[in-house]
Amino acid sequence: MAIQATTRRSSSFLRITIGLQTLTIFLQAVSAGLLLTSSYGETLHSAGARVMYGASMLYLLAAVLAWKPGGGSSRPVLHASGFLVLASAQVVLGIAHVPSVHLPLGVLMFGLSVLALARR
Distance CA 44, CA 72 (A): 37
Q: Note the pLDDT tens digit of each residue in 22-40.
A: 999 999 999 999 988 998 9
Backbone angles phi, psi at 68, to 5 degrees: -70, -70
Domain ranges of the chain: 2-119
Q: Note the pLDDT tens digit of each residue in 68-109.
A: 876 777 899 999 999 999 999 999 999 999 999 999 999 999
Backbone angles phi, psi at 89, to 5 degrees: -60, -40
Q: CB within 8 A of 85, min separation 6: which ones? A: none
The whole-model pTM stands at: 0.87
Yes or no: say if 94 and 102 are a contact pair by the CB < 8 Å rule. yes
